[in-house]
Amino acid sequence: METRWSKGSFGIRAFEGTKIESKKTNNNNRVECKTRSFFHSPSPDLPQTYQKEVMFSLMHGLWTYMFSKTEFHVLILGIDKAGKTTFLEKLKTIYSISEGLPHDRIVPTVGLNIGRIEVANAKIVFWDLGGQPGLRSIWEKYYEEAHALIYLIDAACPSRFEDSKSALEKALRHEDLQGAPLLILANKQDLPNAVSAEELDRYLDLKKLDERVYMFEAASGYDGRGIKESIEWLVGVMERSKRTEALRARSGYVPVPTS
């Protein structure tokens, strides 16, 4: 019988192992063993207090596995007037009980604007950073902890495409953003002169994109088009991302086994 001891959160040991139930010899004169895996909690001879602590630890772990939600941190970047804050407020309206700010009350972000939503089994914290030239230097202070990046471009303003491209390329070159999934939104599709996501993709011709998971999507922070599909895609890729694995390992996160 093979036995393996394990130590719980409260220092109480339990054991698990494999027990041989029967043996038989097959036609090749090899012994085949039928085994049964088992797990025993600590001996009932242990003090009652310890037994209760062990049970609490086991139940807490089960509850955490069943009901806790993974939290992701997502950066929302783009040059000024790309529609980042309007996009975030529309996100809140779509995914939260409370509505986002009305459009006439939204002002350009100076510094940091934070939003939180829940999608399926995930909690997402959004960091919306100001895009004015003098504020872009603070972007990199948030790169290290971000699971993914959403980059908005005003698809109705071709005269600023080059500035948007330059700012995005600079962000993608930073070592602290390596491996982060990227969602590029051709925003303001509610405007008649907005170019499509495909046209914007061809115009930008970003050389670095082949090295990471990314998607171009047409969207509107004003009427909400394209937002739900984009966020659901992003959650899916973050859950499978090597970037997420690396951030979890660095924080000491240990996933609960599923089998």
Binding-site residues sit at 78-85, 109, 131, 187-190
Phi, psi for residue 113 in degrees, rounded to 5:
-125, 130
From CA 22, how far away is CA 36, in angstroms rounded?
10
**For the residues of 167-179, what is the DSSP string, one character each?**
HHHHHHHSGGGTT
Binding positions for Mg(2+): 85, 109
Identity of residue 244? T
Q: Does the active-site annotation cover 178?
A: no
Please name every residue paired with 76 in a beta bridge, in sequence order, or none if there are none. Answer: 128, 150
- The pairing of strands 122-129 and 112-119 is antiparallel
Cβ partners under 8 Å of residue 206, min gap 6: 165, 168, 169, 172
**Tokens, residue 106:** 């939204």
Q: Buried b vs exposed e over 129-167: b needs ≥16 C-beta within 10 Å?
A: bbbeeebbeebeebbeebbbbbbbbbbbbeeebebbbeb
> In 3-state terms, what secondary structure has residue 80?
coil
C-alpha of 130 from chain center: 22
Catalytic choice (48, 51, 132, 178): 132
From CA 151, how far away is CA 176, in angstroms rounded?
16
From CA 219, how far away is CA 230, in angstroms rounded?
8
> In 3-state terms, what secondary structure has residue 147?
coil
**Catalytic residue ranges:** 132
